[in-house]
Chain A
Amino acid sequence: SQTIHQWPATLVQPVGSPLSLECTVEGTSNPNLYWYRQAAGRGLQLLFYSVGIGQISSEVPQNLSASRPQDRQFILSSKKLLLSDSGFYLCAWSPMGTGGREQFFGPGTRLTVL
């Protein structure tokens, strides 16, 4: 069966510090990968998605970047965090070959920028 991992689970960082959140998927190959941000009491906003190694599409201009160094690894980064980067970050994957409809989410990382 497929599983998706995210770490860390929680993170408190000062303004201006760098960020690296990691997501890995097990039990599948060539997944589509996604990064979402969920602000408090809000819906999910798609930040980035990737259909393959090194292929990153950005949905909204922002202070963050994403990379996919391996097939089942997706990393969300920032060089200098802003207060507005606080939120709940969710990684998701969808299988290839099905039109990628179903998305499965990881447990999330709660980021607080102080």
Chain B
Amino acid sequence: GENVEQHPSTLSVQEGDSAVIKCTYSDSASNYFPWYKQELGKGPQLIIDIRSNVGEKKDQRIAVTLNKTAKHFSLHITETQPEDSAVYFCAARRNTGTASKLTFGTGTRLQVTL
């Protein structure tokens, strides 16, 4: 089955700096890679996603890049703000027909300090 590894497990940056979180996946057939942000005590919220036919996608301060050959993808947050502090999860989707079965990384706890 699919295996997703995520690094680092914790990341501390100063407000205004950039943050980068990296993930690798094992199943070359995976074709969809979402990123979720989870605040304390809440369910994860989808913040950005990328499909395998795209190399990069950007939404304001957030961008995701995908390298299919190397089977890795990354989340980039620029001009970080205190409200960006949360746990971030990457995931990869295995194509199983009608159901979207996501395999998640183990998460990165991002702390943005003043």
Interface residues of A (CB under 8 A from B): 32, 41-46, 49, 51, 57, 59, 90, 92, 94, 96, 99-108, 110
Contact = CB atoms under 8 A, between A and B. Distances in A.
B42 A104 contact: no
Interface residues of B, number: 24
Nearest to A30: B98
Given A90-B44, A101-B49, A102-B34, A46 B89 contact: no
B26 interface: no
A110 B42 CA distance: 10
Contact of A32 (B6, B43, B98): B98
B73 to A, nearest CB: 15
A49 B99 CA distance: 8
Given A43-B107, A51-B99, A103 B89 contact: no
Interface of B: 6, 32, 34, 36, 41-46, 49, 51, 89, 93, 98-107
B7 to A, nearest CB: 13
A3 to B, nearest CB: 12
B45 A94 contact: no
A32 to B, nearest CB: 5
